[in-house]
Amino acid sequence: MIHALDALNQMKPGEVLLVIADCPQSFRSVPEEVVKHGYELLGEPEQQGQDLHFYIRVPGGQPGSR
C-alpha cells in the first residue's frame, strides 16, 4: 500500500489508480488506508483469480469512469 500512496500523492484530482493485491488481508486493510488518507474507494474490490482489484480516486475534480 505504501507504493500506492506514493503514486496517489503524484496524481491529479479525479484520477483513478488501480491497486492489485494478492494478500487476503487487503480486503480490509486497503479500504481502511484509503479512507484514512482521504482518497475515495470506487465500489467493492473485484476479485480476479487470487488477486483483488481496488479502484482508488484522488478526491476533487470531475468524477471519472474507470
Q: For 13-26, write each residue's pLDDT tens digit.
A: 999 999 999 998 99
β-bridge mates for residue 20, sequence order: 53
> Which of these, 18, 40, 23, 20, lies nearest to 31 by C-alpha position?
40
pLDDT confidence band for 1 (50 / 70 / 90): confident
How many whole angstroms separate alpha carbon 41 and alpha carbon 57? Answer: 6
Report how far Cα 12 is from the mean position of its chain's Cα atoms: 14
**What is the arithmetic mean of pLDDT over 29-53?**
95
Q: Which residue has the cell 491497486?
A: 19
Q: What is the pLDDT of residue 48?
A: 94
Q: Count Cα neighbours of 43 within 13 Å in the Cβ-side half-sphere.
A: 12
